[in-house]
Chain A
Amino acid sequence: MTPPSLRETQRWLKARIVPAGQAEGPSGGPAAAPDEAWLNPQGGAPGTARLAVYAEGYLARIEEALAEVYPATRHVVGRHAFAALARNYASAIPSQDYNLSRAGRRLPEFLSTAPLAGDLPFLPDLARLEWAVAEAFHAAWHPPLDPSTLAALPAEAWPRARLSLQPAVARVASDWPILDIWEARERPVAETRIALVNRPQRVLVTRRGVAVQCELLDPPQDRLLGALMAGAPLGAACEALAASVEGDPPPVADWFARWAGAGLFTRCDIL
């Protein structure tokens, strides 16, 4: 028999490592041969037992990577359910990013179809918030636009001004109070009471220095920031906002002052 090629060898070992859900179907050929056909006999430990070290290691690493990024999700579902979730995730979703810390990127999407979300319908949104927090943690923070630049902008230039935001800034909206749940991630579950029904929350994810911050946005703020992040000039963004709000016009100038003060804007282009 000709010795297996490097790729055949790696495919064989991969099929021994990844959980069954993802392993390629029976392919015949060398992959179908028993472990002993591939491995040298060693002491008392059979090849299959030694291969288990790699398979266990894979699951442990995926679980650890998920626990690192999703502490609130883990807190809510509990240690054991989270371990099972990680196992199912590892079986269903092949990791495609070289960086292990990004292996959990698709957990929100996976959770939206997971049975857990039947009992805890806010889980996918909570996980989306946690992924946004992780991304903000690693994102660049550019020198912010000097708030006085914005204050000094002549009134006639405002409608044509387009503001760019920090790459670390994100918005996460949910029909559930995900910010309250996220903030309770280090409190004992038994001491935590959070009303869930009819409490949608929109969250602004940003940074202060190197620390990630999450804060509530009210619906008009969220709409305005969303328009800006989509690249709309101030005029169009504010008109759309005014059309959607009943009663008094919202204090948009105050919002801009606050956001500029927090360093959210990186540049202002007059179109």
Chain B
Amino acid sequence: MERRRGRWPALGCGVGLRADHYDLITREWPAMDWFEAISENYMDSRGRPFHMLDAVRHRYPVALHGVSLSIGSADPLDPRYLEQLKALVERIEPAIVSDHLCWTGVDGQQLHDLLPLPFTEEAVAHVAARVGQVQAALGRPILLENVSAYVTYRHSTMPEWEFLTAVARGAGCGILLDLNNIYVNAVNHRFDPLDYLAGISGELVGQFHLAGHTDRGAFLFDTHDRPVIEPVWGLYQEAVRRWGPITTLIEWDADIPPFEHLAAEAAQARAILTEVQRLPLALSVSGGGPG
């Protein structure tokens, strides 16, 4: 059956591939739907990380998730970055290639962070053109992820979900929708996360991220170092109910717990995916009805 989200592969629920777990994974080959690897940890390595990813790829589907494409930077795209990424993509044959809708440096200086863009027509056109370049270089479509932000610019002219949608439509790329980032931004920037979901077209969404964050009192801080919180599970349920069983990742980037803990969170997400698949509504959604 043709799914409404169309061209993106349905991989189930996976976890990030982390150096802390290399030994366990390559010793026990635990049950897991798929792994997401941070592209930069592998694209410049022909040593242990590269061999681990290669071995994992022989047993599981893999997605490559980048953090320094800097698709929104005012600087030109870095040809060396694209070359290295392309070489890794050709070697690993990932199911999905993604990065973030953000910028990570300007004027030749790297800031190594997922920095917010102004939500303007200028930025939409700029990013869309560059995604075209990236997709042409890689010979395949990519997904762009919505990022957490602690500031919004006065000169933004549209809400974030409109910006994300305009970029995806203008560029012909997909969306990696991070539900934790939506929640963090909803609290930080005072909007209703359901308005965000309502503003997104399900057929553009190729993957979900689920993660934890830290409450800093005045704002939420996106740390990926703790379990997914209840309201984010709620958003996930709602998103899956609307758009069907889209590929999902449990994302931890710091204080990474034992593998079993990650696997348990992935199982929790998987239960939601399978649950929703059994509901008549999901059938009608996947048949192409209104979201």
Contacts and interface: CB of A to CB of B under 8 A. Distances in A.
A40 B219 CA distance: 14
A51 B151 contact: yes
A92 B226 CA distance: 34
Contacts of B107: 11, 14
B189 interface: yes
Interface in B60-89: 68, 70, 72-74, 78, 81
Contact of B115 (A13, A102, A136, A137): A13
B106 A54 contact: no
A17 B111 contact: yes
A64 B46 CA distance: 22
Contacts of A40: 151-154, 156, 189
A99 to B, nearest CB: 5
A50 B185 CA distance: 13
A13 B73 CA distance: 12
A94 B72 CA distance: 20
Given A6-B72, A6-B126, A44 B112 contact: no
Contacts of B108: 94, 96
Contact of A50 (B74, B122, B219): B219
A98 B70 contact: yes
Interface in A42-71: 42-45, 47, 49-51, 53-54, 57-58, 61-62, 65
A233 B118 CA distance: 59
A96 B48 CA distance: 25
A58 B46 contact: no
A87 to B, nearest CB: 15
Contacts, number: 144
B122 A6 contact: yes
Interface residues of B, number: 48
B45 A138 contact: yes
Contacts of A18: 109, 111
B106 A38 contact: no
A57 B113 contact: yes
A141 B47 contact: yes
Interface string B263-282: 00000000000000000000
B218 A17 contact: no
A96 B120 CA distance: 27
Given A6-B122, A98-B70, A11 B47 contact: no
Contact of A103 (B72, B110, B151, B154): B110
A139 interface: yes
A136 B40 CA distance: 17
B221 interface: yes
Given A53-B221, A98-B70, A11 B106 contact: yes
A139 B171 CA distance: 36
A95 B112 contact: yes
B110 A95 contact: yes
B186 interface: no
Nearest to B123: A6
B126 A58 contact: no
Contacts of A43: 188, 190, 218-219
Interface string B100-131: 00011111111111010110101100100000
B123 A98 contact: no
Contacts of A65: 112
Given A14-B106, A98-B40, A49 B218 contact: yes
B112 A14 contact: no
Contacts of B199: none
Lowest 9 A-B CB distances belong to which pairs?
A45-B218, A7-B74, A140-B46, A210-B48, A3-B155, A10-B106, A138-B45, A98-B68, A50-B150
18 contacts: A5-B74, A17-B115, A37-B154, A40-B152, A42-B152, A43-B218, A44-B218, A50-B218, A51-B151, A58-B112, A94-B110, A96-B110, A100-B68, A102-B44, A138-B47, A139-B47, A140-B47, A207-B47
Given A18-B109, A43-B218, A49-B218, 7 more contacts: A10-B106, A14-B107, A37-B154, A40-B151, A50-B151, A58-B113, A61-B112
Interface of B: 40-41, 44-51, 68, 70, 72-74, 78, 81, 103-113, 115, 117-118, 120, 122-123, 126, 150-156, 188-190, 218-219, 221
